[in-house]
Amino acid sequence: SPACQCMTFVEGGIFMRSCARRWMNDSLNLYLQAKSAKMSKSSDHNTRLLLSPGKGRARSYGSTHAAVNASVSTISSSSLGDDAEGGRVWIMACFSLIACLSALLTGMTVGYSSATLIELKSVFLEGDATHGFLDTSTYASLFGSFGALGAALGAPCAWPVSEWFGRKPALMLGGVPGVIGWLMITYAHYVPIESGFLAILLVGRILTGFQAGWSVFCISVYIAEVATSGLKGLFGACNQLFVTIGVFLTLGLGALANSNNMETFHYFHISLVAVGIIVISELLLLLICETPRWLYAHGRASEGRKNLKLLRGPNANVTKEEEAIREALERQGKLSLGELFLQFKQRTVFHPFILVLMVMFFQQFSGINAVVFYAASIFKEAGVGDPSLLSAMSIGGAQLVATLIAVILVDKLGRKILLVVSSATMCLSTGVLGIEFLITDTICGGVTGNGTTSHHALCHHNIGWLAILATIGVIVGFSLAWGPIPWLLMSELLP
């Protein structure tokens, strides 16, 4: 009968859901067992490096080493949950991925200048009035750099808001400047005055960058407080993965906007796509919970325990995790500002802090933003046929694939090896890129191949392909390690 068929369908759906959860449970168990085995081999040496020498070394090392082993041994039970359906890893994964949706906008902000500068240099407003002021390198540079300026302002502003109002409200508030910024970029297209067009465009660019910096901070904090210790690295890498997806999406839309066959899709339509993504992200953020740590810190212990049970499973034993959160908050509350600075005298605090700080410094000063911001312009100067399409396919695709490879290899090869390989690849590629432009601009007068008037032998060969390969090499090198790994090290090294 129809009723029986309906019941059979529902039972089949429940069975498939149970199988999916069990598969995720088994897969993560294998992942954590491999991680535990690897940590048991290398944690002895690494822990000694981070601890202070002298008398207290043996005692500090013993307790820290035991804590590391204990945390790994309890991951498979506490992190996966003890409920009958295989734990609540799927909830942690869903909440982390929903939070990472904001990173899509970070990627769109990063890739927007590269995707749109070619069209913006020959903007047509209503009435066929051409504004060519963006042909100058100054305005093009301002348009690219103002996004980074906004991001530098957004991250520090997000910290007090997330402390006062909570991690979830902070994530949602980040969408406000994002929507305003992207709508301003769209509205600028209809402003007939050149100065007004440029002003609105740059202010919108700052606001979108502000949202990008805000989101990077809030996502990292949310995942660190929601995920268990064994899964922070895995979920944290999703932040960079979503950034690369956003870059790839934007470059693809930019290629569509710059296509000769598309007369109805332009640079400001990409802004409307970004607004749509923000709206979807805000609606999904309503489904996630506040972090238990923030609730405990603000005297809402009952809600904190409820959310901890939601994340770990209704039958999971969360008593130890509750005690750890309370002890950490108690120690943090007792520390005065002076005592907090005194903590940095300890090697166990100072050494990891400096390591993480330097890794983040080198990530930002690696030159990756300059390459991504102006990838289409680099390809155009290299003399390729369709620079927007090529940059979308090569840069966006290479970055996405390399980040996926990094997520797979980061626990197999280790962080340090990938960072070394990544640094060597970026160094070589950046050098080749600089040499190619040096030869083209200085020796060949800006033209190589058949159109050159130089008598130098190098100038009679089209060496633009070197710039393309070098640019792809920089992107691949960065995405293999310097993109995702610094965010992992923050949660793994800092006490």
pLDDT attached to residue 161:
93
Place of tokens 């620079």: 387
Strands (E), 40-101: none
Q: How many Cα neighbours within 13 Å face the side chain of 214? A: 27
pLDDT attached to residue 327:
83
pLDDT attached to residue 214:
94
Answer whether 0.85 is exceeded by the pTM: no
Instruction: Indicate whether 59 pLDDT > 50.
Output: no
Quick: pLDDT tens for 260-274.
555 677 778 889 999
Higher pLDDT residue, 66 or 209?
209
Instruction: Indicate whether 357 pLDDT > 60.
Output: yes
pLDDT attached to residue 443:
66
pLDDT attached to residue 442:
72
Under 8 Å CB-to-CB from 422, ≥6 apart: which residues? 477, 478, 480, 481, 482
Q: What is the mean pLDDT of residues 324-348?
A: 73
pLDDT attached to residue 34:
52
Q: How many Å apart are CA 479 and CA 17, to the nearest integer?
A: 34
Higher pLDDT residue, 17 or 8?
17
pLDDT attached to residue 76:
36
Identify the CA nearest to 21 among candidates 110, 103, 84. 84
What is the overall mean pLDDT for the chain?
Answer: 74
* 3-class state of residue 90 by DSSP: helix
